[in-house]
């Protein structure tokens, strides 16, 4: 088999066979296929696409390139949840204890955040003492005992994806849907999930900014799931404005606790209930999504989900008392509130701009090695569709080490990302569609 022929075949728009896909994934991972040939193939895939069978074969080949986590020591159906990334997206922090409190084992492997979207582990590490360092055996034991544990993603998972992603990053091929879908799904499958709930974000703050591509991505991932026998459900949800009111690690933990207490923001609560209900169904706790929804609401109302969060934090070394004393989470030294310059309706809060502003305050990583300021971030006082009066607070910045010059440019960025109109704006749906 020759890489040249595979490139030419894809360039002409033909489907590659499983053998051909295995050949280039393996060959590139072990260094036998040079970057220039792989780049040419990635560009051919970018323009010609891949059918469902090819995408599944690519996913499987990337899974096979590294360690595959065996969760068989944990009893029950392991359902994983993945978000394609958004601003203020702390759904995992809330959905995990909810489903665990209903008896679904949650063995979560998670990465850290980069850029304006945050990582679940970073958020949890804002709880004093919380850590994810443990052996795989300790991790399995903890899930069997408590139903919920989180560990950092092994760097031995899907080395092919890592190498291919680095090349995509410098060859303008990141935005190819078959490549994104197989990249995401390979990591979920290698992490040992039996079934997967995907929260595919759409809008300004999302990886996929327009609805048509978000839907294509969701469909591609669900198809891959079917082909590899991992039931996958994708929820397409809005990310034109930040989710909930908090952006930033400790601020999002506090908001997650409020949501577990039943006093969280409406949009966040709604997405959490939807994600958790789908997870309950995939875990076979019920086949009826309406019953699942009632189960989720009940565990929120009776405090069992909050108790599970307490147990989870305590078992991973964290100070679980922050649940009752959230003021003991890291607090920023300085705050700066931005007020409305006119009365009207909030018609836009551009999610990615606000996310980047939060990152500039220290809440996100600019590069892989950046040190996070866990207390930094932004609290929104108004969301799209709400009315505001002149001089009412719109949002508050929380920060420690930002220079006056940087603060001025952050404030400018935020002012450019908020629109107030005299007309009530048309609202995007919070949940667009569920792809099964
Ligand atoms: N996230 C991933 O894991 N892979 C991609 O290709 C894009 C986003």
pLDDT band at 230 (very low <50, low <70, confident <90, very high): very high
Q: 401: which DSSP letter?
A: S
Has residue 113 got a pLDDT over 80?
Answer: no
What is the rounded distance in angstroms from the CA atom of residue 116 to the CA atom of residue 118? Answer: 6
Query: Following CA atoms 218, 221, 223, 226 in sequence, which dihedral angle do they give, to the nearest 10 degrees?
Result: -130
80 is catalytic: no
Measured in degrees and rounded to the nearest 5, phi and psi for residue 206 equal -100, 165
- Tens digits of residue pLDDT in 153-176: 888 899 999 999 999 989 999 989
Q: Which of 117, 174, 198 to mutate to test the pocket of ligand 1 (most atoms within 8 A of CB)?
A: 174
Considering only 36-40, 78-82, 276-280, 315-319, which range has the smallest mean pLDDT? 78-82
Is residue 399 scored above 90 in pLDDT?
yes
Residue nearest to ligand 1 atom 3, measured at CA: 184
Ligand 1 and 58: CB distance under 6 A:
no
Give me the DSSP letters along 202-263: ESTTSSB-SHHHHHHHHHHHHHHHHHTT-EEEEEEEE-SS-SSSEESHHHHHHHHHHHHTT-
The CA distance from 356 to 116, in Å, is 5
pLDDT tens-digit readout, 306-325: 999 999 999 999 999 999 99
Judge whether 168 counts as a catalytic residue: yes
Ligand 1 atom closest to Cα of 183? 4
Q: Residue 350 in contact with residue 204, Cβ under 8 Å? A: yes
Strand 79-83 vs strand 148-152: parallel, antiparallel, or unpaired? unpaired
- Only one residue has tokens 């809005």, namely 238
Q: Which of 101, 94, 122 is nearest to 110 (CA)?
A: 122
Cα 131 from Cα 276, distance rounded (Å): 24
Assess whether the C-beta atom of 107 lies below 6 angstroms from ligand 1: no
The answer, yes or no, to whether residue 366 has pLDDT greater than 90, is no
- Residue 389 is predicted with a pLDDT of 98
Which whole-number Å values give the CA distances from 37 to 7, 10, 97, 161, in the listed order?
8, 12, 46, 16
Tell me the per-residue pLDDT of 56-107, one tens digit each, with 9 for 90 and over.
Answer: 999 999 999 999 998 998 989 999 999 998 899 999 999 999 999 999 999 9
Mean pLDDT of 198-215: 94
Q: Is the dihedral of CA 263, 269, 273, 275 positive or negative?
A: negative
Cα 119 to Cα 365: distance, rounded to the nearest angstrom: 10
Q: Are strands 246-247 and 377-380 parallel, antiparallel or unpaired?
A: antiparallel
Place of tokens 């995939």: 282
| Distance of CA 187 from the midpoint of ligand 1 (Å) | 9
Q: List CB contacts of 196: < 8 A, sequence separation 6 or more.
A: 79, 80, 81, 82, 185, 188, 225, 230, 231, 232, 233, 282
């Amino acid at each position: 088999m020759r890489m040249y022929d595979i490139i030419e075949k894809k360039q002409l728009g033909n489907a590659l066979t499983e053998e051909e896909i295995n050949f280039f994934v393996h060959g590139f991972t072990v260094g036998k296929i040079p970057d220039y040939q792989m780049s040419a193939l990635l560009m051919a895939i970018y323009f010609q696409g891949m059918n469902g069978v090819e995408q599944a074969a690519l996913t499987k080949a990337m899974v096979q390139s590294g360690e595959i986590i065996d969760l068989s020591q944990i009893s029950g159906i392991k359902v994983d949840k993945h978000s394609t990334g958004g601003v203020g997206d702390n759904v995992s922090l809330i959905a995990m204890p909810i489903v665990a409190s209903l008896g679904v084992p949650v063995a979560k492997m998670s990465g850290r955040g980069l850029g304006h979207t945050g990582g679940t582990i970073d958020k949890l590490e804002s709880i004093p003492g919380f850590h994810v360092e443990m052996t795989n055996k300790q991790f399995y034991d903890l899930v069997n005992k408590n139903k919920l544990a989180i560990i950092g993603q092994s760097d031995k998972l899907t080395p092919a994806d890592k190498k291919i992603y680095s090349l995509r990053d410098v060859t303008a091929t990141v935005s190819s849907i078959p490549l994104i879908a197989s990249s995401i799904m390979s990591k979920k499958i290698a992490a040992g999930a039996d079934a997967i709930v995907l929260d595919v974000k759409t809008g300004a703050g999302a990886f996929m900014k327009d609805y048509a591509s978000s839907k294509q991505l969701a469909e591609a991932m669900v198809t891959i799931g079917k082909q590899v026998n991992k039931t996958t459900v994708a929820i397409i949800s809005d990310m034109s404005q930040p989710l909930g009111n908090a952006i930033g690690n400790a601020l999002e933990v506090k908001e997650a606790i409020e949501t577990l207490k039943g006093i969280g923001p409406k949009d966040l609560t709604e997405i959490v209930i939807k994600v958790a209900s789908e997870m309950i169904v995939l875990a076979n706790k019920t086949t009826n999504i309406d019953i699942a929804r009632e189960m989720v609401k009940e565990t929120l109302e009776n405090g069992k989900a909050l108790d599970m969060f307490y147990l989870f934090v305590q078992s991973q070394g964290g100070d679980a008392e922050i649940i009752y004393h959230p003021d003991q989470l890291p607090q920023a030294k300085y705050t700066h509130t931005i007020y409305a310059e006119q009365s009207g309706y909030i018609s836009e809060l551009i999610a990615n701009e606000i996310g980047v502003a939060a990152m500039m305050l220290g809440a996100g990583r600019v590069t892989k090695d950046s040190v996070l300021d866990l207390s930094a971030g932004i609290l929104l006082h108004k969301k799209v569709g709400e009315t505001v009066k002149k001089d009412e607070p719109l949002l508050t910045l929380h920060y420690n080490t930002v220079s006056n010059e940087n603060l001025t440019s952050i404030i400018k960025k935020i002012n450019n990302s908020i629109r107030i109109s005299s007309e009530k704006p048309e609202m995007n749906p919070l949940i667009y569609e569920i792809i099964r």
